[in-house]
Structure formats: structure tokens, C-alpha cells
Structure 1
Amino acid sequence: MIHEILPPDVVSVTDAELGLDESAVVAAMYPVEAEQISNAVASRRADFAWARACAREAMTRLGSPVGPIVRGGKGMPVWPPGVVGTLTHTDGLRAAALGSAGRVRSLGVDVEPHEPLAAGVLDAVSLPEEAAWVRAVGVELPSVHWDKLLFTAKEATYKAWFPLTRRWLGFADAHVTLVPDLPRGGAQAGADDRANGRDSADNKHDNNDDDSHTVFAGALRSRILVDPRAVDGGPDLVEFHGRWVIRDGYVASAIVLRPAGLDSVDP
């Protein structure tokens, strides 16, 4: 599902693609990686190892040298030279997305189960206007857990932000706008669906014409509300743009930030 919301020059790999068992994945960690995670519980070690195995397969597909991926500040992965990437893991899914440093300035991907946030969490992870929008759109399109989607967009924003600033970004430090794709046939088709008792989430669609599992997809915009200065010498981080999708029981958000002067490549 992640590849659906990434441009073609960004490689994504999930654990299901590797054809490995957990013991082999854990044993394949580089010694420096294993040392960093040695005191963690078994489930955390497994997530750590699986995500890095996905990343190394993505490096291979990119044609980049494969090497260890250690943890840096705030747990940020430290990538080998020439590679920009992001890791994500949740119940039943671990994944990595990587691009060439010449074409990608920063990446942020987050995947979560498509289920509601726990009671009270929405207000803790959103701005008041975001929470109000989530509640309003949830009445119109209740088949989508908009609160969890907003959460993944916030997490993807942070993952794209931190490597370029080395500064914390709180949930209230970025304003996220989520825009659902129009159903096939455009706005009138969507209006006809609602008139016939079907919402847009039931009009399954994606750009790959594989409608059997896609629930919903769309675009996201994340507007930074704090000091936008970056430390990599690039332009200020005023606004991020990305995509989101809900498929197979998961919701995923992705942000791809390009270097200055490089036109974006749409997924």
C-alpha cells in the first residue's frame, strides 16, 4: 500500500516482501545495530530488525551500497551516504521507504491500523480546528477513521521535519489539511453516490485500477507553525505536501520533500 502514495523514484519495501523468518532477520543485524537495541524487549528488537531489513532491501533496489542503519538523535535513523529514508512499524507491518539524496531531501512515512484513536487522544494530538474538522467529516464519511489518519499525517510530518532541523515538532506545531480524492466520475458522481445512500469511501478507487481493497485515498498538506529554518542549507520548511491511503486495514501517510530546484515527481 505504501508504494501507492510515493513517487516512482522512491522505493518502499514491507516485511511481507522479504520472505524471511524473524530469527533470520534478527540475526542479520549489523553488530552496531544489535548493540543499540540489546536492552530492548523482544518485540522492540524485532521491529527494529525488520524495519532495517526492509531498508537494506530498498538500498539494493536503489543500487546503493548496503550498510548499518544506527539510531541517532530522538531515535532518527542515520542513513549511509547518498541515501535518504524513513522507517515505520506497527502491529503486523514493518516497512521502509528510501530515495537517492540527489532527488529526495527528506522523507516521512507513517502507517497505523485503521481504527479510531483512544478516547481523548484526538484533542491531545490536534489543533482545535483540526479536531473540529475530523468530527464534522466523520459524520459525513463515518467509514473512515479520520482521527487516525490525521495522526499518521502528523507523524509523517515529524519524520520529514526532524532530520532537516534537529528540533522537536509538537502536534500543535503543524496544521494538517486532508483532502480526499474525488471518486471516479468527479464531483457529480460523488453527489449521485450520496443521493443513493453511498458515500465516497464506498466508491473505491486508486490510480492503479486495483479497487478490490482500496478504501480511500487523498492528498495532505502540512503547514509549519513554528520557526521553519532548516540546518541542511536548504529552503525553510514552511509547508509539506504528501499523500495518504487506507487499504487492507491500515492507514498510511507519506511526505516526500525535494531538494531546491528539483521538480516533484507525482506518484
Structure 2
Amino acid sequence: MIEEILPAEVASAVSRLDAPEAALFPTERALISSAAPRRRAEFTTARVCARQALARLGIAAAPILSGARREPIWPDGVVGSITHCAGYRAAAIGRSTWFTTIGIDAEPNEPLPDGLLEHISLPQERRRRAHADGTHLDRLLFSAKESVYKAWFPLTRRWLGFEQAAITLEPDGTFDAELLVAGPVSGFHGRWLARDELIVTAIATPRPETP
């Protein structure tokens, strides 16, 4: 699904089945040596997807370690994002000469737990959510904010709270994010898709052309 809402220049890979930990580099395996089985499976398969996406750009396999906030550390010359939820793992990679940042997220197409919508949304977002048959719009809003954070953090190395981005969801499968804090960008434009019991969202910001 994720490739349908990403530009053609972004390489992506998806897996519905988890890969064995033998697929990891030793330095990657060390990062999850004490993690719970679920976390180990998510981490491993996301790294396998990431290497498949890198290969599609002609980039050799290499360890993909984690930063202080568990963000993936990409090889020089690329930007990217990974996501995982039950039964779905994905990675999206683009060359940094083409894109400034990428953020993706996948979620089950089901309601958020009781009380969580008020925690992750602004009043205006709850009033103006798009209409979409069969799509749980509270979960879609959450996913869009996750993609926004994943696109924001590599640019700033700063946390972004749910209340610091205002999302406008559109029924045509797009969304806009207005950032309510100072930073190098004022917002993002993204796309979303709901199908096969999943919701996916993606942001891929092209690098401005040099005058």
C-alpha cells in the first residue's frame, strides 16, 4: 500500500511476515538484545525492508542503527522512514539530493482507545475531520501526526508534541499539517490511504530546486 502514496522516486519495501534475526548485522542485533520478542520482530523486519528499499536505489546493505529517540540512522546521501504495526512493516527511502525529509506511518483501521483522541488532537481537528466510508478518522488523524513527527525530527532533532501540529484531512486522500512551533518548515503536505484493514500515511518533501 505505502508505495501508492509515495512519489515514484521514493523506494519502498513492505513485509507482512517477520524476518529471522539472522538477517541483522551484529551491531543491529546488539541494539535489541534485551528487547521483548515483539520489539525484536518489528526492528528486524523493518531493517530488512529498509535494506530492500536501499538496494532499489543502488545502495549497498549496511547496518541501520538507532538514534537517541530510536529513529533510524540512514547511510549518507539518503533520507527515509520506517513503520510497523501488527501484520505490516514498511520502509521508504529517497536520495537526499531529491528529498529533504520522508515520514511514513501504518496503523490498524480501528478506533483509538477511549480517551486518546482528546489527548492527540486539537479542538479544530475534531470538528473538521474528513468523511471517509469505512475509515476510522481518529486513527487516521493519529497516523498523520506520526508521519509529521517522523518528517519533522530529522530536520530539527527536536520533539514535536501532538498539540504542535494542526492536521487538515481531505477526502481525496491528502492531508496538510500546519506546524504550530518555529522551525525550518511551516508545514507538510501528505497523502493517506485506507484499505485491507490498514491506514497508511506518508510525507515526502521534495528538495527545492536551486535557482
> After superposition, where does 1:27-106 map in structure 2 within 5 Å?
27-106=22-101
Equivalence for 1:165? 156
- 4+ long deviations beyond 4 Å: none
Unaligned runs of 5+ in 1: 182-217, 229-235, 263-267
**CA, structure 1 residues 77+127, in 2 after alignment: closer, same or farther (shift >3 Å)?**
same
| C-alpha separation in 2, matches of 1:248 and 1:143 | 11
How high is the TM-score relative to the length of structure 2? 0.95
What is the DSSP-based 3-state SS (H/G/I as helix, E as strand, rest coil) of the residue aligned with 1:3?
helix
Q: Which runs of 5+ in 2 are unaligned?
A: none
Across the two proteins, how many residue pairs are aligned to each other?
210
1:224 aligned onto 2:179: yes
Counterpart Cα distance in 2 of 1:145 and 1:127: 17
| Closer/same/farther in 2, CA of residues 2 and 142 from structure 1, 3 Å limit | closer
Q: Which has the higher helix share?
A: 1
Amino-acid identity (%): 48
- Structure 2: distance between partners of 1:225 and 1:156: 16
Query: Does 2:202 correspond to 1:245?
Result: no
Spell out, residue by residue over 1:116-171, the C-alpha distance to the aligned partner (whole angstroms, 9 max, x if none): 1111111100011112224xx5xx65622110000000000000000110000000
TM (norm. structure 1) is: 0.76
- Which residue of structure 1 aligns with residue 7 of structure 2? 7
From the CA coordinates, give the structure whose radius of gyration is larger.
Answer: 1
CA distances 1:165-213 after superposition (whole Å, capped 9, x unpaired): 00000000011011112xxxxxxxxxxxxxxxxxxxxxxxxxxxxxxxx
Q: CA shift at 1:223, angstroms?
A: 0.6
How far apart are residue 66 of structure 1 and its match? 1.6
- Answer whether contact 2:192 2:199 (CA < 8 A) is retained: yes
Q: 1 CA distance for matches of 2:138 and 2:167? A: 12
- Cα distance, 1:87 vs structure 2: 0.4
